[in-house]
Chain A
Amino acid sequence: MRILTWLPGRLLGAAVVLVGASALIFAAVRFLPGDYAQIVLGPLASAQEREALRTEFGFDRTVGEQYLLWLGQAVTGNFGHSLASGQPVAGELAARLPVTALLTAMAVVWTVVIGVPLGILAGTRTGTTRSTAAGRLVSSLGVSVPDYVLAAVVVFALSSLPLGPSVGAVGAPAQDLGGTLLALLPPSLVLAVFTIAATARATRDAVLNVLVEPHVSAAVARGETRLFIITHHVLRNAAVPVLTLTGTITAMLLGGAVIVESVFDVSGLGSYLVQGLGRRDYPVIQTCVLLATTVFVLMSLIVDVVTGLLDPRVAVSGRSR
């Protein structure tokens, strides 16, 4: 199998990145100014209580041991307890994960359904100078409007319409799937504006790159129809960069659409992180960031494997240098 020649290297690379990222997260929180025991117990705790907590959390060990201990627990799903609520972080995460997953899925659906066709259209129809300028402006606008501006404007617009509450009460898809989907519609669209524009741009670039290939000229010379050329020659070759981008977008959103979730009061991973940050709840911050990076690395790995299988040239060019 061809895949066996490059897959071990990719797996090793992903493992290195994960270890590096987790070490960075651990170090960032471990070396925060201030005494962890004092942050947890407050300023009134006695010396014995602090000492007991230090032993419980393993602060009397070396930094290396602490990191391995933390990582070992994280791998087995033990992320510690939230300082604010006293509940296990894993349990609070489990309640929020489906919401973020649903929000991500919706945004990705909009992205693929709208962004890819737009990009194909832009790539295969090169118009007049004026329409190209308009297209450039619109596509730039799509990737340029920050989610915090767009989210605020959408909340404002929705609140001025008589549709009931525009924000809040988004959660628990298990109990009320229809209601959750409806409530997630505005935030998912806000998220999708950027991803649609980015995907359309990438698709357009990919299509333009394929169009200059000799095999497309050959197809035109053979008198194949425009539609056939687009579906059989262009799309198949343009799929790889588009797929890569879609995978990256999915990973980014799964890690928590921090700002949009906060503005729309969606109780997912992103708003959990912001909440944790506001309360200086370090186990929560650590866990959310670790989760976001892990999802990103694993997703990139999956995308690499899939594109490698789709297009052997990618795998080969990535390997031989």
Chain B
Amino acid sequence: MKDTATESTTRPRNPVRGALASFDALTLTCAGVLALLTLAAVAGPLAGVGGDPTAIVGPRLAPPSAEYPLGTDSLGRSLLPRVIEGVGTTLVVSAVAVLCTAVISTAGGIVAGYHGGAVNGVVMRIGDVLYAFPAIILAILVASVVGPGRTAALVSIVLVTVPLMTRMVGAAARLVCVRDYVTAARISGVSAPRIMVRHVLTNVSGTVAVQTTYALSVAILVEGGLSFLGYGVQLPASSLGLLIQEGTVYMVKAPWALLAPSVILVLAIVAINVIGDSLRDRFEPRKARSL
């Protein structure tokens, strides 16, 4: 692995290569893993990899073989297409929820940071109320109100991730809003919405990127946890949490049914967290030194 410091001094001509080279090998590997999972979730069902995920094709709880690369589940369905479908469900539910979170939190955080005072107080207090619920307990409460399913998973992820992200974006926006250029814009009569978009949003975009990444890993965790307890995505659909839950039931007889979805889930979360860490190092640099 090349040292990142020397890399940045000798600028490559290709901007895409330059951007890639500024991240280290571990981060790039993690991005590759995520890209591969996404590709599998999109292309797998289209190409019909492993066959129909709902069709009962073979013996129950068969070990991995050439015919069933990940084995079969308790009903004799091939696990490979079910895992691929599960990855897709988990990624779609998490991504849609995190997109909602990013929009809500960025808007809320910037408005709160720009106005400060009472507006900030109200927004942060609402966040505090939601933050007082432990993640999985809030998700369970949501599931018991709206009923188990995709919607419950989506709403819970948004409610779990919004408070922290709003607080972070709000704090970053607050720091931007006291800068001279914002004051200058205000004095020269620029409208508040325009300042928020042109000056504040562009300057908190780093924090937004970092927090969105972390929110995505929390989303996958929560979706998995909720499905694991039986209140998330429902059968016959498939999600990683649901597959893990099914896997635990037969884990003594068929450990592969637990192993495959677990490994993929952990891989996805690790990859996202590593990317989040390295985005944070980039956007919120710290003058590290050793003792």
Contacts and interface: CB of A to CB of B under 8 A. Distances in A.
Contact of B132 (A31, A148, A273, A296): A296
Interface in A75-107: none
Interface string B167-198: 00000001000000000000000000000000
B225 A277 contact: no
B194 to A, nearest CB: 24
A228 B125 CA distance: 41
Interface stretch (A16-24, A66-74, A306-314): A16-24
Given A152-B258, A256-B134, A289-B141, A277 B231 contact: yes
A25 B137 CA distance: 11
A209 B136 contact: no
Given A144-B269, A146-B266, A259 B248 contact: no
Contacts of B32: none
Given A17-B128, A258-B136, A259-B225, A144 B266 contact: yes
B266 A152 contact: no
B235 interface: no
B290 A140 contact: no
B291 interface: yes
Interface stretch (A51-59, A129-137, A177-185): A129-137
B145 interface: yes
A297 interface: yes
Contact of A16 (B125, B143, B174, B252): B125
B95 interface: no
Interface core residue of B1, B132, B217, B241 (most chain A CB under 10 Å): B132
Given A32-B144, A137-B26, A258-B136, A144 B129 contact: no
B59 interface: no
Given A28-B145, A133-B26, A146-B266, A292 B134 contact: yes
Contacts of B270: 137, 140-141, 144
B207 interface: no
A206 B34 CA distance: 30
Interface residues of B, number: 51
A263 B228 CA distance: 10
Nearest to B261: A149
Interface string B117-145: 00000000110110011101100110111
A220 B287 CA distance: 17
Given A144-B269, A211-B289, A321-B116, A156 B255 contact: yes
A255 B1 CA distance: 45
A28 B137 CA distance: 13
A223 to B, nearest CB: 13
Interface core residue of B144, B217, B241, B291 (most chain A CB under 10 Å): B291
Nearest to B288: A208
Given A256-B134, A256-B137, A125 B290 contact: yes
Given A140-B277, A212-B288, A277-B144, A293 B1 contact: no
A289 B145 CA distance: 13
Interface core residue of B129, B266, B288 (most chain A CB under 10 Å): B129
Contacts of B136: 258-259
Interface string B143-157: 111000000000000
Interface string A146-182: 1111001101100110000000000000000000000
Given A21-B132, A289-B133, A149 B125 contact: no
Contacts of A31: 145
A110 B140 CA distance: 28
Interface core residue of A16, A144, A216 (most chain B CB under 10 Å): A144
A17 B141 contact: no
Contacts of B224: 146, 148
B279 interface: no
A274 interface: yes
B244 interface: yes
A146 B145 contact: no
A229 B266 contact: no
A226 interface: yes
Nearest to A16: B125
B291 A230 contact: yes
A294 to B, nearest CB: 8
Nearest to A156: B251
A205 B285 CA distance: 12
B102 to A, nearest CB: 21
Interface in B72-119: 116
B265 interface: yes
A124 interface: yes
B55 interface: no
A296 B258 contact: no
A126 B129 contact: no
13 contacts: A13-B125, A17-B125, A20-B129, A28-B145, A136-B274, A136-B277, A140-B270, A152-B248, A212-B286, A255-B134, A258-B140, A289-B137, A292-B134
Given A153-B258, A156-B251, 6 more contacts: A137-B270, A148-B228, A156-B258, A216-B291, A258-B140, A285-B140
Interface of A: 13, 16-18, 20-21, 24-25, 28-29, 31-32, 124-126, 129, 133, 136-137, 140-141, 143-149, 152-153, 155-156, 159-160, 205, 208-209, 211-212, 216, 220, 226, 229-230, 234, 252, 255-256, 258-259, 262-263, 273-274, 277, 280, 285, 288-289, 292-293, 296-297, 300, 321
